[in-house]
Each structure stands twice: as structure tokens, then as C-alpha cells.
Structure 1
């Protein structure tokens, strides 16, 4: 049996072997491992929970450093000052952290319940869901800077957060980051009420108007229910959860492009001023709507009538619960997954002239 197969280390379950895999359980072990790889001139792939990776069938021709430095602190000593400071190690499982902040009545992360992976990945991708993202609560990220061989701290304002993006992501090439996240610090609000609920579906579920607060325990419960109904909460018995979550980001396009879509196509304002170069008005679209209306329904790739079936043989498909997820139905290869994703991206481009882009990192492969 080939050693160091990476597929079992990912939620999608695809990926060939690496030359070497090192698991680090402390911050110092992580720094030492990265320094050793760099000193040897080897290629480096940093992995956490493996929930945002599509690794090629050929694998990775270098060393994989796995982050397993778990643990967090919640500073309740400053609750009276109107802020709760939460500091988590990069390898801390994300949803366990969210669950504990809700239990301790520190609000701000509850809408991000059920997202797989580790805390260290959240600032890289500016992880978000249901109208919330981590840029709203992160105060500081400590990293190992591979270029200067030193620990560095980024304040929120220095991280260049944008939709599913950050300075940390923009300086990462095929999973090899300049900045290796060590710890993430959040500033949360004390109390049992959630942050304002911004997403219509979630607001309806908890029975409040958009912009109003609800008990954080209710928000977490409904987010887990909604995510579960879409196959977005990991379940080893449910093949729809063998995915990277949303495979495609929602496209951000000029207003003139959005105006060419049918009137019922969802459109969302782009809040970041940085996303509006030269004063151009940009609009965020729904990738799920584009996929569905371009003729790719839930379970696309499972039927003999689907073009992707020819290449993927039913081993990979769109989720039967949600058109944004590309899933491993059992025994899929990375090539199978990409065959489905490419068929969808090509079809949406043919129908609407808009190219969808992958949200997960593609290691040794492309869409």
C-alpha cells in the first residue's frame, strides 16, 4: 500500500500520496516543521482539517505539514467591559469552538456553526455563512512568516479581508502559504443574544426580522438544521457531506453584467469599498441560482443522461441536496470531481457568460 495517501485527510476524500506527512501538535512543533521543510528546499503543503482542499490524484510532490495544535481560551475577565476575547490555536476544531462560545454566552460566531475544518483556516478564506463571516469578529491573527523567519501579528485592518479572501490567502500558492497561522483571536460580545441576523432564510427560521437579534442557542440550532438539510454538516453515513462544502464562490460582477440576467436572478450588494475599483458598481450573484438555471440540478452527474456521467461514471456528482457542492459518491478520484465541476462551470458560462471559480484550493490540478 502506498504510504502518505492524502485522500483520508480531506472531507472530499480524494488525493494521491505525499512524499512525507508530518503532524504537529503544538505551535513550536509547527514552526520547527515548517522551518525544516524550508531549509531543505522542499515543497510545502499546510493542512488543517482538509475541508477546503481538492488534491490531485498524483498527490503532492513534497512535504505535508498537518496542524493539530488544538485548544482555546475565553477571557471572561473583560466581559464587564463589553467584550469577550477568545484565542484559539490554529488546529482547534472550528465547530467545537463555536459551540463553546454559544454555551458561554459570547455572541458573534453562532451563525458560523457546523462549518467543518480548523480555526486556523478561517481567516485565510474569510470563512462565512448565513450573512456572517469571521472578518466581523477577528481582532488579531498570529502567524509564522516564512520569508522573515519570525512570528508576526496581523490586526484585523491589516488582513485585507474581502469576500472569501484575505492577505493570507492571496500570499498562498497551491496550499503553500507565506504566513502559517498559529493562533486566531476573536472579540465577541457578552450576552445570550446573537449578533444581528442578516440572512433572510435564517431570520425566518428563528422568527425575527432581518437585522434583529435572537437567542444565540436558537441561531446555532437553526443553522445546524439548515446546513444539515443541505448536506453541509459532516456525516459519515451521508455521501452528500463528502465534499468541500460550496465548490464555487458567488460571482462578483459589474452591474452591467448583472442587468443582463433574468429579473428573478438574486443580486446582493457588495459592501467592501475595495471591491469597487474606479467607482464601478459591483454586484454579487448567486452561484447556486446560476447553476440550477443553467440546467444543472441536484444530483447532476448521477444520471446516465448527464454529460458528466461519461467522465465521472456516477462516482462524483452535485449534491442531491444542494447544487453548490460537488460530492464524492464513493470511490471518486480528483479527476471525477473536477469533471463534474468543469461541466457545471462550462455550462454556466455558456448560458450566462459568467465563469464560476472554485472556492477550495486546487492542489496539483485545475478547473
Structure 2
């Protein structure tokens, strides 16, 4: 088994915090990854799978267990049963942004708006990553995974993963465990063949973010470059020289609340209605039909509200820090908690707790962390 000298997690995570694990394994092939996981699970050791380290806040104390680094790479092009589409099977350790760049170069549409998102492909379905109106759920066909409970490898269709807003049955939410503890080995996406020429961009949110009129046409390369420039202005593209990018991206999720609660927030707070939940089809046996069908219940869709707006309007401005803390909000984006140089995990957590408290006090809403927290409490 490819065991290596443990490296401090502060060197392997984009938040640049975290102690040194007791043991570390580098898995560069699917077989090495499967063997390592089965061995660790058989030993009932504490374990942590690490990809790009872009969605993790690890505690300052040494991790008392085994960290398995997923370093598998590779993209396989497969036919699709749908005319005009192509499938890509991608290894879990492959860089997500490298995959997006590859898809754009190949003229494949469906993930270009997610350019610049750090991390690995295997982590993408766990979080159902998304940006500017695109989410991986829109293109995901299936994943190959290994279940912790059985150690068995299987192929699971996307519709069995419980993909929702920044969640899935695989995600470890703060304060809970995954519904299905498992590790993704590969991901299969289905993308549209649009080529290198101009094409119409679908989705109101994406067109609005790109500043496009409804009938505008652009190239995939233009979409990628525009998204990367937009993310860079917000400090959301990794840059060693820019402390604003030493973060886990958005530390807090945009909150999804009921329509009635959203109405209690100031009108200026940006909000986006979620998809309307349709009532299930009703079948009434003929012998019970009395000529009357009750009208469907009127259900307002939930509303997604801007966490960044809530933070800033709770009085926590961009660049804010507590006293002499080495953790601070990004000077470019209020959702990013950043390490300004040498900050401990506890300093970052202290800032997160302060932000949560301010928003709760002002608006009655508790923001939920987006990264996985290991050995850290909010």
C-alpha cells in the first residue's frame, strides 16, 4: 500500500489550516484507492479522504487516523444514447477545472459556467457543485463508488444520489453523517456537442451573470474566460500571491427558506425562487368518484436568499477581522473566510461563529457552513 510520510493538512487545504495526520496514503490508481479504503475500514481506523482540499476546514490538533489522498486522473470519452451528446467518464482525483477546460476545448457544453471551481471531480457530486445557474446534477449520469458498509464497488445512477442544493446522500453536513457513507471512484457526465462556434446560452441566471441578452450567442471559450474573470474579481480563483483566495470559497451556503420567511427579510435582499414542487398525480377509483375533485393545494416554492447580502447587512463588511486574528473576510467577497497568513483553524472558526451570530441576531436565520469541518466546532 502506498503509505507516505504524513504532510500537515495546512499544506494540503486551500484554507491553509490543519494538523498533521498520524498516517497518510497516496492512491494514484483506482485499485490503490479501493485497497486503501478497504484496509482502513477493516481496521476501523478514523479516516479522511482528501482531494483538492478546497472544501475542508481541519482542526489544529493532529488527525488521529488515516488520510487517503485521491490522486487518480484520467478522462475517457464514451458514446451517448442521445444524438448530439457525448459522455465523459472521469477519475475522482482529476482536477475539476482541468475537466472544464478539456470540455471547452472539445466543444462540449454543460459545465463551462463552473470554470474556476477548485477541487477534484470526485467531490463535485457530493456537494452538487454549481455556479451561475449550472449544477452538476444537470449533466451527471452516474458515479462509480465504494460503500463503506460493504466495501463493494458499484455504479449508481445520478437519480439515486439525492442531489439537491449543495447536497447529496454522500455529503457529511455539519453536525451529521452522510445518509450513504461512500467514496466516489469515477464520475460520468453527459455533455452537448456544440463545437467551437457561437451558440445560444440557456438559463436566465447564467445569461444575467454573463450580461447576455436572451437572443445572444457566444462561444464556450468566451463563457469560460468570462466566468474565470468574474470569479477572479471576487477572489474565487486560487492564487498563491493573493490572500483573498486562501479560503474554502463560499464558507456559508446561500440559505433556502420558506416563501413566508423570505417576506420577513428586507426587500433589497437578493432572492431566487426554487423550482416549484408539483403535486403528485392523483388516481381516484371510479367507484369512489363523486363528481368532485378538490383543487390542488397552493404551495409556494422555497426561496434561496443571498448569504453574502445578509452578512454585509448584519454589519460584517468585506475585510472584517476580530482584533488581531489572522483570519478575515475576503476584501472582495463577504462569503469567503480567508487565512491572511498563519491563521489557525480555531481563528477561522471563531470568525465563522461571529458571522453566524450577527446574521442570526439581525435576521433570525442561522447560516450553515458549506465546507466539511473535521476536528472543528462552530
Aligned-pair CA distance for 1:314: 3.6
Indicate yes or no: 2:324 matched with 1:324: no
Correspondence for 1:64: 67
Correspondence for 2:15: 12
Q: Which has the higher helix share?
A: 1
**C-alpha deviations, 1:108-158, integer Å up to 9, x for none?**
010000000000000000001111110000000110112122111111111
Aligned-pair CA distance for 1:178: 1.7
Could you say what secondary structure the match of 2:218 adopts? coil
**C-alpha deviations, 1:78-119, integer Å up to 9, x for none?**
599211101100000010110010010010010000000000
The 2-side partners of 1:363 and 1:176 are apart by 18
Answer whether contact 1:70 1:88 (CA < 8 A) is retained: yes
Answer whether contact 2:253 2:367 (CA < 8 A) is retained: yes
Bigger Cα displacement from structure 2, 2-11 vs 35-44: 2-11
Correspondence for 2:212: 207
Could you say what secondary structure the match of 2:103 adopts? helix
- Seen in structure 2, the aligned counterparts of structure 1 residues 150 and 212 have a Cα distance that, compared at 3 Å, is farther
Bigger Cα displacement from structure 2, 96-105 vs 261-270: 261-270
Could you say what secondary structure the match of 1:60 adopts? coil
- After TM superposition, the runs of 4+ consecutive aligned structure 1 residues lying more than 4 A away are 77-80, 170-177
**C-alpha deviations, 1:38-68, integer Å up to 9, x for none?**
1111011111000000001113211111100
The 1-side partners of 2:9 and 2:244 are apart by 20
Bigger Cα displacement from structure 2, 166-175 vs 38-47: 166-175
The 1-side partners of 2:101 and 2:204 are apart by 20
The 2-side partners of 1:181 and 1:124 are apart by 8
Which residue, 83, 87, 90 being the options, matches 2:89?
A: 87
The 1-side partners of 2:230 and 2:107 are apart by 22
Between Structure 1 and Structure 2, whose CA radius of gyration is higher? 2
Answer whether contact 1:12 1:51 (CA < 8 A) is retained: yes
The 2-side partners of 1:289 and 1:334 are apart by 25
Correspondence for 1:362: 373
Aligned-pair CA distance for 1:214: 3.0
The 2-side partners of 1:212 and 1:17 are apart by 51
Aligned-pair CA distance for 1:185: 0.2
Correspondence for 2:311: 291
Matches within 5 A, 1:1-367: 3-75=6-78, 81-169=83-171, 178-192=181-195, 193=199, 196-199=202-205, 203=208, 205=210, 207-209=212-214, 214-271=218-275, 273=277, 279=299, 281-301=301-321, 308-309=322-323, 313-367=324-378
Instruction: Give the count of matched residue pairs.
Output: 352
Bigger Cα displacement from structure 2, 51-60 vs 190-199: 190-199
- Seen in structure 2, the aligned counterparts of structure 1 residues 191 and 280 have a Cα distance that, compared at 3 Å, is closer
Could you say what secondary structure the match of 1:14 adopts? coil
The 2-side partners of 1:317 and 1:281 are apart by 35
Answer whether contact 2:250 2:336 (CA < 8 A) is retained: yes
TM-score using structure 1 length: 0.90
Aligned-pair CA distance for 1:280: 6.0
Aligned-pair CA distance for 1:365: 1.0
Could you say what secondary structure the match of 2:124 adopts? helix
Aligned-pair CA distance for 1:341: 1.1
The 2-side partners of 1:233 and 1:240 are apart by 9
The 1-side partners of 2:10 and 2:35 are apart by 25
The 2-side partners of 1:194 and 1:208 are apart by 10
**C-alpha deviations, 1:178-237, integer Å up to 9, x for none?**
21100000000001337514326x53635333x965321111110000000000000011
The 1-side partners of 2:130 and 2:362 are apart by 28
TM-score using structure 2 length: 0.88
- Seen in structure 2, the aligned counterparts of structure 1 residues 242 and 251 have a Cα distance that, compared at 3 Å, is same
Could you say what secondary structure the match of 1:98 adopts? helix
